[in-house]
Chain A
């Protein structure tokens, strides 16, 4: 019941911030309407990384506590995360095209790091798919998730250095609007969108977790049924 309320609230806040972001907030002086993409783009990116962090931490939780619920959290994080990662990249490309003139800019550390994040997520999910036994799956996934999570900051730094050492003044940084001197209305809209998206994320995570748990429970019931029937048959002899 509480989850439904969360879902409703999330939906409403997303709707509200969408309206505000598209219609109420003024367009950026320099970038025009294209700048509006920033709101969902930044929100998606934040959630993409948050999800990965959750997946990694939940994986450690599994290795430590051997509780399959942790693995369900990790799975939820990975699936929801890959979705938001995709949105973030898509948004980044759509935003970049009018600003940079191209869909992709290698020297933007966030875009390239997020692309790599997508690759890591996909590898993680494929790996999960290839293992049937729940515990082996959880262990393999946890380990891969942790190493991937550790890799992300390294990637980010390396791409930043990559850019920093090749000072090209022609890159108009899309996030000038994020500097502290920006008008309050932009910042508020951004925060509102991030908040709305985060609520949505929370709702989706809970639902996906519940689905994963149901699936596990069903598997477990089947296994126990089988064991108990074999045992009863033998005892009845």
Chain B
């Protein structure tokens, strides 16, 4: 679905962004995009997440706020299935992270601090590889479109090794455009970006909101984000401190001393 540009300063930016046309249905008919219960994660004995019970309804754009070490990145990584929780459970789009991790991966896109790009490959090659991994149809066309949309068409055949941090981030966003996600997780999306790069993020946020993709953004501040947000969640010391806005709910972590470990894992 093409979306009108919301970025008046986007000089080198394209006017429309191709966000994959997964037909998601009306938000009210869909299960919550994020539904966690007492989600906890310890690293070397210290709790990064101490018991997060959070629900984010479908189609919402929500900011995950809090100081460094509050657990924002850990929460995103668990939802992306990059790491597993120590205790508690979580569902994405109604799918259990433990039992249905494969299905969850097909619906979630994650932009982390690390870009996961291969230095020795060109921008185009990186995206082509990603397209095969993501089972994107019409690989050549979609890759070309994605490169256009993120403003890297003129550097498509240069190796990523030569790219600046901002350009790598844009390429990583291009990779997300190749996917078919219903939940997008962004970890500090504006970091290391110039004005054009930040406009790109803005455009993506509008585009995703328009088609009903849920977005969770970890960030220090909300200045630039405010206009796109449906809700806000603030984490502190591994727990939810406050929630506000539409479509976001949280409950107190359980104080009963039998924190449940994730369920048994089938062979996949």
Question: A and B, one complex?
Answer: yes
* A226 and B47 contact, CB distance less than 8 A: yes
Chain B positions within 8 Å of A234 at CB level: 50, 236-237, 239, 241, 253
Which label, helix, strand, loop or mixed, suits the secondary structure of the B interface?
A: loop
* B252 and A230 contact, CB distance less than 8 A: no
* B252 and A235 contact, CB distance less than 8 A: yes
Complex alpha-carbon distance, A67 and B262, angstroms: 11
* A231 and B257 contact, CB distance less than 8 A: no
Contact with B along A209-220 (1 / 0, CB 8 A): 000000000000
B86 contacts partner chain A, Cβ-Cβ < 8 Å: yes
Interface residues of A in 87-124 (CB under 8 A from B): none
A147 contacts partner chain B, Cβ-Cβ < 8 Å: no
* B265 and A227 contact, CB distance less than 8 A: no
Task: State the Cβ distance, A133 to closest chain B Cβ, in Å.
Answer: 8
Answer whether A64 and B45 are a contact pair too, CB < 8 Å, given A224-B257, A227-B40: no
B267 contacts partner chain A, Cβ-Cβ < 8 Å: yes
Contact with A along B233-244 (1 / 0, CB 8 A): 000111101000
A228 contacts partner chain B, Cβ-Cβ < 8 Å: yes
Contact with A along B47-84 (1 / 0, CB 8 A): 10011000000000000000000000000000000001
Interface residues of A in 7-53 (CB under 8 A from B): none
Contact with A along B24-60 (1 / 0, CB 8 A): 0000000000000000101011110011000000000
B139 contacts partner chain A, Cβ-Cβ < 8 Å: no
Interface residues of A in 36-95 (CB under 8 A from B): 63-67
A232 contacts partner chain B, Cβ-Cβ < 8 Å: yes
Chain B positions within 8 Å of A64 at CB level: 264, 267
Complex alpha-carbon distance, A67 and B45, angstroms: 20
Max chain A Cβ within 10 angstroms of own Cβ: one of B50, B252, B255: B50
Q: How large is the interface on A (under 10, 10 to 19, 20 to 34, 35 or more residues)?
A: 10 to 19
B42: contacting residue among A226, A228, A235, CB under 8 A:
A226
A175 contacts partner chain B, Cβ-Cβ < 8 Å: no
Task: State the Cβ distance, B38 to closest chain A Cβ, in Å.
Answer: 9
Q: How many B residues have CB within 8 A of the partner chain?
A: 27
* B50 and A230 contact, CB distance less than 8 A: yes
A181 contacts partner chain B, Cβ-Cβ < 8 Å: no
* A228 and B45 contact, CB distance less than 8 A: no
* A232 and B239 contact, CB distance less than 8 A: no
Complex alpha-carbon distance, A63 and B40, angstroms: 22
B7 contacts partner chain A, Cβ-Cβ < 8 Å: no
B10 contacts partner chain A, Cβ-Cβ < 8 Å: no
Complex alpha-carbon distance, A63 and B263, angstroms: 12
Interface residues of A in 181-198 (CB under 8 A from B): none
Q: Which residues of chain A have a CB within 8 Å of any CB of chain B?
A: 63-67, 132, 135, 222-224, 226-228, 230-232, 234-235
Instruction: Give 8 pairs: A residue, B residue, CB < 8 Å, sorted on A.
Output: A223-B45, A227-B51, A227-B259, A230-B50, A231-B254, A234-B236, A234-B237, A235-B252
Q: Which residues of chain B have a CB within 8 Å of any CB of chain A?
A: 40, 42, 44-47, 50-51, 84, 86-87, 236-239, 241, 252-255, 257, 259, 262-265, 267
Apart from A228-B255, A234-B50, A234-B241: 18 A-B pairs, beta carbons within 8 A: A64-B264, A66-B264, A135-B84, A222-B45, A224-B259, A227-B40, A227-B42, A227-B47, A227-B50, A228-B257, A230-B51, A230-B239, A231-B50, A231-B51, A231-B239, A231-B254, A234-B237, A234-B253
